Amino acid sequence: MRFAPSALVLAVAAGLPFYASADVNIYGKANVTVQSSDEGEGSFTEIKSNASRLGFKGSEGIADGLDVVYKLEFQVDLSDADSKGDKDNITARNQYVGLKGNFGQIVIGRNDTALKQSQGKVDLFSDLEGDIKNVFKGENRLGDSVTYTSNSLNGFKVIASYIAEDDTDADNGYSVALTYGDKGLKKSNVYAAIAADSEVKGYDILRATVGTKVAGIKLGAMYQTQEPAAGGEDSDGFLVSAAYAIDKTVLKAQYQTMDFAGNDRNAMTAGVDYKFNKSTKLFGFYTKFDDDASADEDYLAVGMEYKF
């Protein structure tokens, strides 16, 4: 959705000082589920807002071949935040400002790390209970960061994140990724990435990701090895996912596992989406976590998503 400067009132309403010289793209997503959750102590019913968000982004030419770019994105909890003891149902997501040109793009602020960005769309249940962050380390969105993204060269891109230590007793963090192809598999039949973290939120990580289409089925796979940056045993795991569309219905399945020093944590999710159009869908899923070190978890949910 694109707005001319006359939409300044919307920015002011959000407390954001946009100026008449730049257009503003306003976007968002509302995603809610009604679900039965069992986290080891008996089942209960809850309504969850799954990373619902509102964002403002845009760019403005400031010189020949040079643009300033920005994004200010907020997560909004559409469920009853007060009942959970939350003080505020609005939290920060990616928020940055930077420059874009023939050299690529460099932004400063809060952003997903290069390793997190490298997953593409292999995680079919992102922001839901089956999100890969519930098994793998490395799904980080961090402030005090500088992120560089190169322009595409024959389908290849380089992403690099620098995370400032922000403390005399901390270490700088580094995250890098090399990607190939289109993560949505719309412009290419293959997406591939290799990425690594060093001293990022206490972990060193190596991750390899691949996605492709075979006979109308979207297939994804990921391998990850991770270890505490301060020293300790490493852990290895993998993920596989598949999605198949039948008219407006999409059938999805995903399996993920990680071996934590002999204690496996496994996640299995099956789901179905029904898409009314590009912006609206109904969906359902069942997720089960099998953990050698703690109680098993089960989630059964139905929900709705609207994007604008």
pLDDT value at position 234?
92
Burial (CB < 10 A; 0-12, 13-18, 19+), residue 41, is exposed
Residues with Cβ within 8 Å of 51's Cβ and at least 6 positions away in sequence, in order, are 29, 31, 75, 127
Q: What is the pLDDT of residues 109-126, one digit of tens each?
A: 999 999 999 999 999 999
Higher pLDDT: 146 or 292? It is 146
The residue ranges of every structural domain in the chain are: 2-307
Choice among 3-17, 73-87, 220-234, 286-300 with the minimum mean pLDDT: 3-17
Residue 20 has pLDDT above 70, yes or no: no
Q: How far from 92 is each of 88, 161, 162, CA to CA, in Å?
A: 11, 19, 19
Residue 83's pLDDT is 55
**Full-model pTM:** 0.88
Hey, what CATH topology would domain 2-307 get? Porin (2.40.160)
Q: Which of 119, 120, 137 is nearest to 204 (CA)?
A: 137
pLDDT digits (tens, 9 = 90+) for 228-256: 998 888 999 999 999 999 999 999 999 99
